[in-house]
């Protein structure tokens, strides 16, 4: 399907979150073709009955954070109630990614898992976008809070880190793998996101189906230079000069 700007002019400000996220990126000069393909591929995999487990893979610096924001928006639009984002065991990375999600305007706003631990907060009501590090202590607290939710979606950033079960040949589970497995329960959907998916295939992490893997190709260079690199780096890379005969992208 070709791109149509009219589609975005018709967006209800209180309606479709996914379309509003695409509009936000387009207003910044971004090419959203790769994001749309990845999100459509993921939603196709999740359609139908039964638990689904698959990987979205792409090159480093391909814009996966913005893709995951748009994917989360689409999942919310389709009625998913609890979306859990897992990240490497780094406070700085958690703060950075959580901040980008919060700045995107998603509703409900993304939260650190520590914000829902209060016994007065019910996770069985409303919608939740939650972030946690892949840290055994953090995941244990989260599991004690939420148990196994029937409709959970886990989006595992850098899924080849900590999530695969290195004890699979011993018929055991590593602690991080066991905790994620418990959070998924019998009906949860797992989406691993990584630039290096081979280990997830060899390890058969969470029974992911490699026939459902989704490719997330990188955005055009101008978009990556302007929006995906750090401000310090982006300011030091000269934008390509286009001749009169060059395509404008």
Q: Which two tokens stand for residue 48?
A: 């139908």
**Chain-centre distance of CA 131, in angstroms?**
11
Q: What is the pLDDT of residues 183-216, one digit of tens each?
A: 999 999 999 999 999 999 999 999 999 999 999 9
CA 113 to chain centre: 16
Domain map of the chain by residue range? 16-230
Alpha-helical (H) ranges within 17-135 are 17-27, 33-46, 64-77, 91-103
Tell me if residue 226 falls in helix, strand or coil.
helix
Could you tell me which CATH class the domain 16-230 is placed in? alpha beta
Q: Which residues contact 18 (CB under 8 A, 6 or more apart)?
A: 39, 70, 73, 74, 77
pLDDT tier at 60, thresholds 50, 70, 90: confident
Contacting residues for 27 by C-beta, under 8 A, at least 6 apart: none
Strand order in the sheet with 128-133: 111-112, 128-133, 82-87, 152-157, 189-194, 53-57, 214-215
d(CA 129, CA 126): 10
Q: What is the pLDDT of residue 14?
A: 40
Q: Please state the pTM of the whole predicted model.
A: 0.83
**pLDDT of 175 strictly over 70:** yes
């Amino acid at each position: 399907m070709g791109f149509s700007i009219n589609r975005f002019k018709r967006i209800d400000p209180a309606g479709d979150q996914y379309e509003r996220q695409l509009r936000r990126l387009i207003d910044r000069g971004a090419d959203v073709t790769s994001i749309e393909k990845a999100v459509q591929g993921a939603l196709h995999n999740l359609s139908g009955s039964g638990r689904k487990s698959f990987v979205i893979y792409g090159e480093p610096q391909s814009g996966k954070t913005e893709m995951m924001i748009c994917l989360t928006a689409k999942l919310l639009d389709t009625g998913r109630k609890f979306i859990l984002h897992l990240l490497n065991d780094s406070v700085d990375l958690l703060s950075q990614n959580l901040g980008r999600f919060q700045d995107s305007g998603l509703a409900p706003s993304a939260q650190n898992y520590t914000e829902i631990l209060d016994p007065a907060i019910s996770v069985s009501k409303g919608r939740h976008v939650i972030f946690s590090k892949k840290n055994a202590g953090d995941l244990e607290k989260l599991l004690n809070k939420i148990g196994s939710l029937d409709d959970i979606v886990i989006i595992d950033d850098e899924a080849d880190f900590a999530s695969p079960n290195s004890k699979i040949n011993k018929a055991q589970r590593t602690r991080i793998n066991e905790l994620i497995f418990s959070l998924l329960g019998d009906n949860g959907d797992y989406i691993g996101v990584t630039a290096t998916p081979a280990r997830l295939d060899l390890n058969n992490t969470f029974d992911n189906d490699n026939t459902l893997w989704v490719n997330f190709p990188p955005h055009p260079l101008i978009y990556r230079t302007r929006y995906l690199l750090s401000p310090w780096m982006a300011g030091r890379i000269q934008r390509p000069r286009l001749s009169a005969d060059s395509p404008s992208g």
